[in-house]
Structure 1
């Protein structure tokens, strides 16, 4: 995470104001609770309602100034607090510090944000202890509003890449690409939705022509490969939807599901699977220092899951690192790692699941292990020779791209 502590006047001023507010409330707690530091002590001593007592005690007990921002009540609540303190016999100095500290906070709002909601977002970005939960709350709010606006949502979207050595060339790797959508629901019947994208490029963004692509499901026709959607039919809701497949000028391929039923009556699950021979270089070169696998978050999703399953002989056992990049700036993989300023502040990390399929189970995706086993059986690969890594994120920001980067 970028260090914003140097040359940041807003941070310095906000820290001073929030620490002053915390200190003022701590004076109230000490004055009325006889040494107690719990909200119930304040509630009993001043006759405050439970919510206000909790906010006061939470702010007073924060270890970091920027965590205080989530616990500041409105102006009317501060008046209730000071009136209760006056009735209890607190000194004018103690109550004056509370009023002065709150006035400083209101001035911070006026000068730097214009409204409290915006200031709270600005302050939460500096929070240390509560940052992960705060970020999740904001992303969840985005999920709900985007579901309404875009007209579609999903419970889980997952992308799994299985990488193995290429049989013909030691300098290339083969790849199985799996994409699953669990609990897809439309909010509007005519909302368009792209079910699948694919593009393989080198470090410079130049498209790599695929050596050969075929569906994992042998029942999918291959005579007209460019017109065939690589469904893994046994794991898909039936009947399968009508789909358009479109190629763009920048070497991208889009698959778009057409109109369908809304809500629970149209809820559906889909899995797509393809094998790509000679998908990319497995050795370092001037144009390739790493393998970057990307997953685009482009619809409202409750949880996104990204698995990388790699043969032990590839990449010298190096482990992937994860980054999440905003696409609002136009940054796309694989240029993302070269444009670190576009990285979003995500605090979740990649987890190593070990070798084989014993630990890849996901409770919310009951058939996930079966999807993987079906894919390994189709390729004739032994899953015990492969090591899995997983990244998950609740309510991913959209539009964004998640990148797993493994050094070569």
Structure 2
């Protein structure tokens, strides 16, 4: 009797603690609206902007009017106030249509994130309010020609002169750089090369019309061609000390903290691309005949579709988890890195499989999957390479094991 009673209590506790994997009705509405916009507007224009490389301003403005741009900006500052998970749903849906156009729409969120996390009330009112009021581009300027994953190698310097800082240096591969109204800039403010990164750099908000800023030519990239990527040079750019974001010397922490919010969004972009790869592959496999039957009936094709499905469902699930952790206020570097790494790697597998399923047509520019394959590669590179994500994951894993004697997190 006691044993049965104890089992009943355990079952009740399990039921109370049972996790829900179901989206709320509001989340389903957000997802459906974003997907409809993606299918109606982004997907039909994807090839056009891929070929022209033109920045899709008209679509960006439409997305802003619908609340799909800068979704994390709180309502207090005029934004949609969507939160992490809702933002991920939007990015995933937009990326289904075109990850290049999606990046033009949501890319400014990387510059918004540090302000959201570390900005003063005045900074938030000015810069978040600016982004919320109209379709505005802002850029996250950290990467340099000789400093990508090695952020400690940043050479751009900021020297204090009275109530101003004077910035000199060059930033590379800056998304949205040609159109940015303001930049988040990381610069070294400590001359001592032995000073740890956590104390050597300061973050600044730099208005795009400040004298001394030069915007380089638009880079011709392999994929996501309509995204505006450029080198930005700062030559004696004077910035008031009021534009320091966070504390002086704490810029590295501000810059890296933003990734906890934005890496789930990047992962969601890869998820959306994988989803599109799977749908295109299913459609083609049911239409294309070989050996007297649709190729979908061949086990070789079925296994590729099954693998794509498994990876898609798992990457989607963990991306949602990482986003939900940011909504709960937890530090999600570990989950964000898992989501970004797995989603990026499997998106590239999905794109390669889609091209294989299409056969010769997959190698042809008149069919959709060659673009998906070109667009997929960048997910293993920007906002931290897949190798950097593995470093974050393994470091966190080993620290947890050393402290708790187990690899299980949380």
TM-score (normalised: structure 2): 0.26
Pick the structure with greater CA Rg: 1
Larger helix proportion, structure 1 or 2?
A: 2
Give the structure with the larger strand fraction: 1
Q: Structure 1 length normalisation: TM-score?
A: 0.26
Structure with more contact order per residue of length (Cα contacts < 8 Å, sep ≥ 6): 1
